[in-house]
Structure 1
Amino acid sequence: MTSLSLVSFFCAHVLGDFYFQSEKLAQKKAQSFNYTMLHIAIYSAVMIVVGVALMILGYHLSWLVWVLILVSHGLIDSLKWFLTNRPYVKPKFDKWLYLGDQLLHLLLISIGNAYVTGSLSLDKELAVDVLFLSKCLLLSLVIFKPANLTFKLVFEKYQYEVKERSLETQPEIKLATTVAGAGAAIGNLERLIMAIFLLLNQYGAIGLILTAKSITRYNKIATSPAFSEYYLIGTLYSLLATLLPYLVIFQPIVTNG
């Protein structure tokens, strides 16, 4: 991923689909199509702002880019809303609708970017700096809210099992033993530090993060098999949710042909 336009469009997508969509709006989208249209309008505004910024920097964007990215986003979100509100679509399929929705958006943005012509009119060194900073921004956006939401949707059933098994084995212990939101905050900090170490090429230091995290949870890991399994899932996911975006954004596959 070496194109500034592609990185910028991905940043706009993450901002519009996650950071400018509150949890309240996401819930109302499932109840009324009007709120889905509101989200589409907000997303389009973010994408247009980024597109205008690219044109100011010297990119010449074909109108096909706007048609493909904006219209396709509206169609995909409308289709998702329609399927979500069908009685034959069970709640257990929500995570697959979410993953399919995101994959389609990213695929179509990539195709739309192929229509972008022209190049940055800045000098080469400044263009490289802007691209690197854009990649850092994209990485930081991906590893926070999107990573948390994806984990919650994909691994929800394991979290439920931990709660149920904890009640069976230790009913006298209240489940609310941690601060609300602490888990997400810990995960965010963990992934941020991992990303910084990856950017500094300090791969071995990532092990220190995992070790420190394990020490603080040692008692629960030793006494609760259910928690230890869930903890391992969360830790491995956090590592994967940082490593994969880093590799895709900063280490494009080069083929000799």
Structure 2
Amino acid sequence: MTAATVATLLGLVLVHLAGDFLLQPRRWVESRQDRKARSAALYLHAGLHGVLVLLVLLLAGASIAFTLAGALLVTVSHWLIDLGKSHLDPGKLHWFLLDQALHLLVLLGLWLAWVDGAAPLTVALAWLTRPETLGLAVSYLLVTRPMSLAIALALRPWSQDVIDPGTLVAAGARIGMLERLLVLTLVLQDELAAVGFLLTAKSVLRYGDLRERKDRKLTEYVLLGTLLSIATTLILGLLVRSLLWGG
């Protein structure tokens, strides 16, 4: 792939983000949710995306026929996808992610048609099947739900002694996953000092809360869970670095 073809793909993604998040007034979203297919704002929004894609394809040097067809495809597909979304709960994250994924898949298909070949897919498939890529995927998957369950089982002998009604439901597990994802990324980037900074920052945030509660069992429980989470992630990250890159 040339730099120009990659730039075209990034340009298509850029104008999509601009059209969906910067150039779409709140009243357009409300009109779409209220009036569905009768909303003039829905047509304006879809047409705006078509115009933006038309400009990108023209700048990329695509033929007039392909440019017009591509702009029409994006306009119609965007209208259909957003119309479908208007019948769903806008407050659900999974519908938002599905909406964005469908739009991006349309743009990806348009881009693949423009480059006229399966070379990008071949390159992507070759990258996805590399041992390094698969190893990273396995390690990042391990530090999410699997490690949360393992840590919860390891702490079970002490969990009955801790009563903490003042926390959000499952918040600790979510925080732990994000923490481990950050630690793993930092270890793989050989930024061990930053791991220490992360641990210090979390300790400072938790110290005041735990001190006010004056609950020694809870303090010990949180400290044990944090150290276990970070230690296992550090070991995993160092092991992955050693196996994949030899250091």
Indicate the TM-score class for this superposition, using the shorter chain for normalisation.
Answer: 0.3 to 0.5
Q: Based on CA coordinates, which of the two structures has the bigger radius of gyration? A: 2
**How does the TM-score come out when normalised to structure 2?**
0.44
**How does the TM-score come out when normalised to structure 1?**
0.42
